[in-house]
Chain A
């Protein structure tokens, strides 16, 4: 199409006059309104479709039983490794510590899936299925679609986390009282935690958009590094002080702490305790529920804002340099 076929700038589609778009039968020219999207409702539709697509991509490769085994084998094995490590060493504190590590490793399954979801969606759609460019030019917001895909993967991880916790309680003897759960706290920390996980995934998505296809390993590698500072399976107090501070700046540490507080009130704290940075900074043994929620909100909001900025900047650069439709494999 040449410029002479376009409607005049600022004019309504189908305007008559010099330079107006040519009128084909039944077509009034280029409708600019259609490029503006359909508001929140359309965004929600795009998000829901992306979640459904993500779930199908994740789940339809096999029969439900194998999918179930696959979804739980990884987190359950990770928890079992830690439980056997506790058993090998023994000691009085291992029973209390068992609940700590089972919860942490179960929640980590969700972190792994959520962090990887967005980045892998970009890589899969760009390098393998070669659909990213079509997703990008579709009416839905690019970030909303990718977030939907990430949420679907996080849901698979959440399923693994719940089953790992159940196995921990039923088989591994993790002390648990369903009537003692602080449900409001659990709801708040889970909601903010999932947003924070997806935000970290967005940062990785921004990175892989600029990278080659080998970047598929980045999410797991970054998750491995975060595993060290998030207090998932050991208290942060055993780490050197500067690394503890790094841990306190990540929303994941607060999310895991908040979930532990909601599920096992009075249990071990990953953030506080003797020799911890928290104790050195605040003078208290461990953070209260309110402090955990506030810290999670602050780190989560800051992280999400930074992630959005990073993603938008990466998206602009990728668009400028034609990275959205490049394939770096054969």
Chain B
């Protein structure tokens, strides 16, 4: 903001500030935003942070290979394990659905949880905290962009694998399936928002923690098999990990008649809804705590820690 923009005109009326959109008499007055301005700035922040992820889908062609073809091959490996074991056909479907949903988990871990730490490494984090917006809107933007990005990969893996391996879906309740899917994404990305604060606090361990959160979570979530087969461990996973409960519900709804579930899909939808709310609120609280701590300790600009 320039000095001329806040100086009253000679006639006494304050000048219209181009950034504030209303006449202001002083910098202090300019800093007092209306509720509409706050909301609009945050919405613009959400859009701005989602934009590179959505646009990147079309600009970085190599992602087609690395985000779609190669994950499809990894999913295929587990399909062939079941084929080698002459498993019932629905198990091939379980693997394909698991492979598609793994796209979201990988996105949550790599591009949500570890993102703020990487932003700090690249020197962007201090800009986020200095900008006149709520940092939660940055996280929402990352989540929205990530959802779009991962959806493309998940749909591609699902469609290609379904065609190649001849998976037959039996869906009775499309509406509930859609609701469960959306709730799973909301809970997953809510968890990602919490993890992003924690990873920022853990610092250099973030990279390793990211690695640690992939295979073990796949295992306890039953990525390639019904989570109910894990007994107590599976129940614990359903109560705490959105991927586990979401996968279990989606499998029940996609392959009606296969009795491999832990809880009815309606109950699991409720668990997901609770998770989505709790995780988002917890993410907000943890971000506040972290922001305060980071400001006090001056660690926002400390790279490689």
Contact = CB atoms under 8 A, between A and B. Distances in A.
Given A70-B212, A84-B222, A225-B73, 4 more contacts: A89-B87, A129-B304, A214-B62, A221-B70
18 contacts: A61-B205, A61-B208, A77-B216, A77-B218, A81-B223, A81-B225, A84-B229, A85-B224, A88-B225, A88-B226, A89-B87, A93-B85, A101-B81, A227-B73, A228-B73, A233-B77, A239-B80, A330-B122
B76 A238 contact: no
B84 A84 contact: no
Contact of B74 (A69, A93, A128, A228): A228
B224 A81 contact: yes
Interface of A: 61-62, 69-70, 73-75, 77-78, 80-82, 84-89, 91, 93-94, 97, 101, 128-129, 214, 217-218, 221-222, 224-225, 227-228, 232-235, 238-239, 329-330
A238 B84 CA distance: 6
A222 B70 CA distance: 7
B60 interface: yes
Contacts of B77: 224, 227-228, 232-234
Given A62-B208, A73-B215, A78-B215, A85 B81 contact: yes
Nearest to B65: A221
B66 A217 contact: yes
Contacts of A82: 81
Interface string B95-123: 00000000000000000000000000111
B230 interface: yes
B293 interface: no
Contacts of A85: 78, 81-82, 85, 224-225
B219 interface: yes
A233 B85 CA distance: 11
Given A73-B216, A77-B219, A228-B76, A330 B124 contact: yes
Interface string B207-249: 0100110111011001111100110000000000000000000
A89 B205 CA distance: 38
Contacts of A129: 304
Contact of B66 (A73, A93, A218): A218
Given A81-B218, A218-B66, A221-B71, A61 B204 contact: yes
A94 B223 contact: no
Nearest to B71: A224
Contact of A89 (B85, B212, B218): B85
A225 B70 CA distance: 6
B54 to A, nearest CB: 16
B9 interface: no
Contacts of B222: 84
A17 B85 CA distance: 82
B140 interface: no
A225 B65 CA distance: 11
B91 interface: yes
A233 B81 contact: yes
A120 B109 CA distance: 18
A286 to B, nearest CB: 15
A160 to B, nearest CB: 11
B165 to A, nearest CB: 12
A174 to B, nearest CB: 17
B284 to A, nearest CB: 27
Contacts of A75: 215
A238 B80 contact: yes
B13 interface: no
Interface in B54-92: 60, 62, 65-66, 70-71, 73-74, 76-78, 80-87, 91
A81 B219 contact: yes
